[in-house]
Amino acid sequence: MYVYADNAATTAMSKTAIRAMEPYYDTLYGNPSSLHSVGQRAAEALEAARAKVASCLGAKPEEIYFTSGGSEADNQAIRSAALVGARKGKRHIISTAFEHHAVLHTLKKLEREGFEVTLLGVGSQGLVKVEDVAAAIREDTALVTIMYANNEVGTIQPIAEIGALCREKGIPFHTDAVQAVGHLAIDVERDQIDMLSLSAHKFHGPKGVGALYCRKGLPLLPFIEGGAQERNRRAGTENLAGIAGLAAALEEANVNLERNAAHITALRDKLIDGLSQIPHARLNGDREHRLPGNVSFCFEGIEGESLLLLLDAKGVAASSGSACTSGSLDPSHVLLALGLPHEVAHGSLRLSLSEYNTMEEMDHILKVVPEVVSYLRDISPVWEDLEKGVKTHVI
Ligand SMILES: *Cc1c(COP(=O)(O)O)cnc(C)c1O
């Protein structure tokens, strides 16, 4: 058995999404900007996809801009709001310490350009407090950008309350909803969201395509110059196959949202209950305000990368908070933001589930993870010190 449990990194495409894309590689190859009928059929398909995406978010079609993914949507939303704010002398931005790098690195760059950024703490449970957002707001705040749900520890933020606060203060509110869209019921009106980023490959759509919702009336600056596509906000011939795949995947996810969430939550809870039995293990992030598919643990005395490699060999694809992919041995900024000590954050494991996973697969994970953890502890000098009392247990 091989279990794919890394759906927060990316998902397998749904058959519906694949089928929706096929015509655009074959018969519907027109350029939506062309005036002839081949182009016009493509333009109609583009607008149909836009309307579908808008309706899944409670938005209007003219508020949806297609991008190359979640990172581009985050970059554009944040840079645009910052530059628009700066025209009015507002150069302060509020965000959180555990955002995705697409947000944090954009903010770092803006800091170098003279903006001031307040990164709010998220506490030991990985939740932003609305009072903290309120306290950080200043006269010159140009933007509040806070993720809907965290990609590593799965915690869902009080988005509607933050939206209401920002609306009351007249400050644009952006949310990176890449982990939430397709998994939680999203309504930009209910939550008073001004800008929202999403990405197709996180809900069984294709990679390399996403969207930015930007409320009508809020200025949105382009960062790719060229043609007049996307109402002059994003130049370049549209990735029509990708856009059609995104819209089909999102519609499918929304239609099945409740059923999928019930199934995935049951899988998640089985894993959380089972893995909690491992001694010196800790669930990362609040258990209640949590994405249906997220399971994140730290195991004391082990090292995330070894855990992942052994799990892979035993038929489980998972991920770790340690940034081994980036070539750095620093533990993830997300786990550090939750206040975990470095050595504990190193032993992290994220299992992220989708509706394609089964209970039998959870049984396999629950058999394999304790075996691998105990094997790694047996050969770990750190664990030996903990057991001899040379070091004290933190978990
Ligand atoms: C995956 C992810 C992104 C980046 O999306 P891409 O489409 O891969 O660029 C941004 N934010 C969050 C929270 C994510 O999980």
Ligand 1 atom nearest 8 alpha carbon? 15
User: Which DSSP category does 69 fall into?
Assistant: S
Ligand 1 atom nearest 201 alpha carbon? 7
Q: Please check if 163 is assigned to a binding site.
A: no
Specify the 3-state DSSP secondary structure of 13: coil
Distance 375 CA to ligand 1 centre (A): 33
- Give me the pLDDT at residue 329, please: 66
Ligand 1 atom nearest 72 alpha carbon? 9
- Give me the pLDDT at residue 372, please: 97
Query: pTM score > 0.85 for this model?
Result: yes
What residue owns the CA closest to ligand 1's atom 12?
178
Element (H, E) at 312: helix 304-313
- Give me the pLDDT at residue 343, please: 86
Closest Cα partner for 324 from 303, 352, 341, 343? 303
- Give me the pLDDT at residue 322, please: 55
Which residues line the pocket of ligand 1, CB cutoff 6 A? 69-71, 74, 100, 102, 147, 151, 176, 178-179, 199, 201-202, 210
Q: Please indicate whether residue 298 is annotated as part of the active site.
A: no
- Give me the pLDDT at residue 46, please: 98
Q: Please check if 289 is assigned to a binding site.
A: no
Q: Output the DSSP codes for 199-247.
A: EGGGTTS-SS-EEEEE-TTS----SS-SS-HHHHTS-S---HHHHHHHH
- Give me the pLDDT at residue 79, please: 98
Distance 210 CA to ligand 1 centre (A): 9
- Give me the pLDDT at residue 386, please: 92
Specify the 3-state DSSP secondary structure of 166: helix
Would you say 93 and 141 are in contact if contact means Cβ atoms under 8 Å apart? Answer: yes
Convert the pLDDT of each residue in 354-381 to its tens digit. 999 999 999 999 999 999 999 999 999 9
Convert the pLDDT of each residue in 74-110 to its tens digit. 999 999 999 999 999 999 999 999 999 999 999 999 9
As a dihedral over the C-alpha atoms of residue 17, residue 23, residue 25, residue 26, rounded to 10 degrees, the angle is: 150
Q: Please check if 179 is assigned to a binding site.
A: yes
Low-confidence ranges of the chain (pLDDT < 50): 324-326
If you compute the radius of gyration of the chain from its CA atoms, what whole number of angstroms results? 22
- Give me the pLDDT at residue 140, please: 98
Distance 153 CA to ligand 1 centre (A): 14
Distance 265 CA to ligand 1 centre (A): 22
Task: Compute CA distances 391 → 297, 341, 384, whole Å.
Answer: 21, 14, 9
